[in-house]
């Protein structure tokens, strides 16, 4: 259990370092875009797959976010990433930022899927 807590802390620190890299002009634009999306999703108060859905609900936390972080780390110049990691490690009062924009996008996706499901059900029962 202790190693899981350490892994979670490291992942949180890496996510914050990636956030710092996403606003650094020395990082290529495509890496900043992916970093921004990854960080927004990681800090979003709403998941694409809700956690109450058995097994699938945790896939985004266990696969999607770490995979996004891994991809972004590969795209960021090592010296910039090192500086961002140092800055993230020295942050004393590190509060968890939330992304309202990412939450809005996810809510929109769920609403769209809900509307499509209703339309599909109506067509299915009309026949």
CA atoms within 13 Å, Cβ hemisphere of 2: 0
pTM over 0.85: no
Taking only the tens place, the pLDDT of each residue in 29-54 is 999 999 988 888 777 766 667 767 77
pLDDT value for 113: 87
Q: Tell me phi and psi for residue 13, to 5 degrees.
A: -65, -40
Domain that holds residue 98: 2-126
Q: How many domains does the chain have?
A: 1
The answer, yes or no, to whether residue 73 has pLDDT greater than 90, is: yes
């Amino acid at each position: 259990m202790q190693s899981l807590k350490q892994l979670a802390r490291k992942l949180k620190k890496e996510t914050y370092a990636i956030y710092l890299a996403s606003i650094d002009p020395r990082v290529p634009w495509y890496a900043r875009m992916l970093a921004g999306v990854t960080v927004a999703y990681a800090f979003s108060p709403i998941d694409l797959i809700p956690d109450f859905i058995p097994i699938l609900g945790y896939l985004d936390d266990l696969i999607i976010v770490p995979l996004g972080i891994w991809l972004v780390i590969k795209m960021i110049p090592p010296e910039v990433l090192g500086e961002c990691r140092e800055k993230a490690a020295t942050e004393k009062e590190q509060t968890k930022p939330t992304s309202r924009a990412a939450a809005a996008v996810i809510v929109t996706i769920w609403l769209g899927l809900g509307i499509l499901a209703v339309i599909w059900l109506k067509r299915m029962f009309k026949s």
